[in-house]
A and B are shown apart, each in its own frame.
Chain A
Amino acid sequence: MNMLLEIKNLNVTWGQGSRAARILDDVSLAVQEGEIMALVGGSGSGKTTTGLAILRLMAPELIMTAGQVIFKGTDLARIQESSLRDIRGKEISMVFQEPLNAFNPVLTVGVQISEVLKVHTRIPSRRTLARVLELLDLVGIPDPARVAGEYPHRLSGGMRQRAMIAQAIAAEPQLVIADEPTSNIDVTLQARILELFRDLRQKLGLSILLITHDLGVVGHLTDRVAVMSGGRIVERGMTAQVLRDPQHAYTQKLLEALKD
């Protein structure tokens, strides 16, 4: 398998001088083509920041002080903003935790998905709606035509999350970064969303970087896992291996919590 994304020695700081705090400390990570990789950690571990750092979407107070983010041979940390925009949404896309906040409340779901198509693909406008419906169908939404015309707050949580995923795959990216995609959904629906991810990986050959605090999710779905704590990666390896035989104390603690 080829290496799709490689994060090398990423350092991110907040603030300056004596009040500076290290948010990410020498983080290195790799995602292969076609694999589902998990980035696990508690709150404040830096996992979300890592995800945002890949596309340079961190808050302006956070500064990348060192490191590289190599994607298909290019260092995303160094290229121009305009080139980065060609990659965002098109080659690498993101799915966020709370779709109610992540969708714009005054635009319909259909419009927001079609934006991606208009900006990143050459699909002519008359075909855009059809494509949006195809995408909604692909993520398992039963009534695509109705959903496309709805505003985000009118959909159920599960549907919203699927719509968000549809938006993320609209331009056929190679990597999807999913930041806690199941944390705000009903437990019963979580499994369905995870299944959807697995389906999409199979059908479209996607790679997925799954950011989560829930080890339970990790076990079912992912190939490899990296565990983060306090801004550092403390353990990594094949999922089955790590879950069976955790080396680091933190990983062991997470497993313990899972058993409860």
Chain B
Amino acid sequence: MFRYCLKRLLISIPLLLGMALLTFLLMQKTTGSFYDQLKMDPLISPETIDRYIRLYQLDKPLLTQFLLWVRNLFRLEFGYSFYYNVPVVKIIAGRLGNTFILSFASFLLTWLVAIPLGICAALHRNRMIDRVIQMLSYVGLSTPSFLSAMLLLYLASRTGLLPLGGMHSARYEDMTALGRFLDLLRHLAIPAAALSIRSVGALQRIMRGNMLETLRQQYVLTARAKGLPESRVVYVHALRNAINPLITLLGYEFSALLSGAALVEIICNWPGLGTLMLTAVRSKDIYLVMASFMMGGVLFLVGNLFADILLARLDPRIRYEK
């Protein structure tokens, strides 16, 4: 198991390096004009500019610059945000947390809704409820997350049930711990739901397909021939096998969530990595842009690794193969 993890990590390193290279090259395209822009900005002191020129050795050959940049990455020295006037690392950490909360909430919501729906649809195949679920799923997975967000916000504004964006209410500071938690949930509801609608549609279909496939397997017949109660046949024998392939999707889903989350964050005014990146791009805050970009890649890798480990734990065939 440990060797398996190590192997996965080792494979990830060239991937990360590749991403770093891509980021670096992209940065090169803009830094030139960017620094000129900076020099003309009276608010930035010449000392700051000099400090960063020295730090990033902009006068040295490209390869050295790249290696230095990578070294700085490891030191969590991501550069300086000129828009917020603080080192990038300080802003990213907080926003990262918020994006994570949103992604996690949406992820949980997706799985808690899609899995039972998929099982239900498979068990009542081709009957009315299955058809209804299938139709809703289809619409759901074709709906872009930003549209879901807008529609939900519209409904909320009409009914006044939920807050219209943001992460905290005005009186957040005065609330008790429980109050704060509930307040967070209320603000989380719309963006998490908007993000989930698409994933639920997709995941439900996959779950249903897997269940149908699994229920046709020989070992399900054996389980029935043993006289086991139908619930055990479905939920222990069939489900355990049907769900395995879905675990591999976990990591990819996480990355997709990060991407999709950005847009929903922007629409719902949720202070996460996405809104940060947008502000950065709009204000040409280069280091912030690139740092967010790298962060996205790292999170994807982590998600993948997590999914692989989970799969190895759950499916003994894979565990022993490695």
Contacts and interface: CB of A to CB of B under 8 A. Distances in A.
B318 to A, nearest CB: 11
Contact of B316 (A57, A86, A106): A106
Interface residues of A, number: 28
Given A104-B237, A104-B241, A119 B228 contact: yes
Given A105-B241, A154-B320, A96 B226 contact: no
A98 B236 CA distance: 21
Given A104-B237, A153-B317, A57 B226 contact: no
B219 A115 contact: no
Contact of B241 (A55, A88, A106, A167): A106
B229 A94 contact: no
Contacts, number: 76
Interface centre among B221, B227, B232, B316 (most CB of A within 10 A): B227
A55 B223 CA distance: 13
B315 interface: yes
A105 B226 contact: no
A55 B317 contact: no
Interface string A107-143: 1000000011001100000000000000000000000
B225 A88 contact: yes
A106 B225 contact: no
Contacts of B236: 107
A85 B217 contact: no
A88 B224 CA distance: 8
A106 B227 contact: no
If over half of B's interface residues share one DSSP class (helix, strand or loop), that class is named, otherwise mixed; here it is helix
Contacts of B232: 115, 119
Contacts of A102: 218-219, 221-222
Interface in A76-108: 84-90, 93-94, 96, 98, 101-107
Contact of A104 (B223, B227, B320): B223
A88 B232 CA distance: 15
Given A105-B317, A154-B320, A89 B219 contact: no
B244 interface: yes
B316 A88 contact: no
Contacts of A250: none
A85 B225 contact: no
Interface residues of B, number: 23
A151 interface: yes
Contacts of A103: 219, 222
A84 B230 CA distance: 12
Interface string B178-201: 000000000000000000000000
Contacts of B226: 88-89, 93, 115-116, 119, 167
Interface in A201-247: none
B150 interface: no
Given A87-B227, A167-B226, A101 B217 contact: yes
A96 B316 contact: no
Contact of B218 (A90, A98, A115, A154): A98
A116 B222 CA distance: 11
A234 B320 CA distance: 49
B71 interface: no
Contacts of B240: 104, 106-107
B60 to A, nearest CB: 56
A125 B315 CA distance: 26
B316 A151 contact: yes
Contacts of A87: 227
Nearest to B316: A151
A70 B218 CA distance: 26
B91 interface: no
A86 B218 CA distance: 21
B267 interface: no
B314 interface: yes
A90 B219 contact: no
A101 B228 contact: no
Interface in A16-57: 55, 57
A193 B12 CA distance: 49
Contacts of A107: 236-237, 240
Contacts of B224: 57, 88
A115 B225 CA distance: 12
A46 to B, nearest CB: 17
Nearest to A94: B225
B104 to A, nearest CB: 27
Nearest to B314: A106
Contacts of A115: 223, 226, 228, 232
Interface string B214-253: 0001110111111111001000110011001000000000
Interface of A: 55, 57, 84-90, 93-94, 96, 98, 101-107, 115-116, 119-120, 151, 153-154, 167
5 contacts: A96-B218, A102-B219, A104-B219, A107-B236, A154-B320
Interface of B: 217-219, 221-229, 232, 236-237, 240-241, 244, 314-317, 320
Q: Which 6 A-B pairs have the closest CB atoms?
A: A88-B227, A89-B227, A89-B226, A101-B218, A104-B219, A94-B225
Given A94-B222, A104-B237, A119-B227, 18 more contacts: A57-B224, A89-B228, A93-B226, A101-B217, A101-B219, A102-B221, A104-B241, A105-B219, A105-B317, A106-B314, A107-B240, A115-B226, A115-B228, A116-B227, A119-B228, A119-B229, A119-B232, A154-B320
